Amino acid sequence: MLACDKAVHSQPLSWELPEELADLYTIFMKSNPAPEKLTRLQHLLDINNSTASALRELGYRLMKTAVEEEEFVF
């Protein structure tokens, strides 16, 4: 999506289920992208700043919890 947008700037997507767009954003966020790519994807998925911030915070908490669970030894 970002590669296509780089070739020809796109308009934000319209999507029936905003939760699916949030899922796409969160999955991409977990790949540790460059900030400008994450910002551009946010625009393309038409996710507002407060939602993006909440998704980032939730994603960071989930990743931290996963690391802590991996460190737990029986």
Q: What is the pLDDT of residue 43?
A: 95
Please list the rounded mean pLDDT of every run of 10 residues in the chain (74 residues). 90 89 90 93 94 85 55 56
**CA–CA distance, 22 with 55 (Å, rounded to integer):** 8
Give pLDDT tens digits for 48-65: 999 999 998 887 666 555
* DSSP 8-state symbol, 16: S
Q: The pTM is what?
A: 0.73
Q: Are 28 and 47 in contact (CB under 8 A)?
A: no
Q: What is the pLDDT of residue 56?
A: 87
Q: What is the pLDDT of residue 45?
A: 94
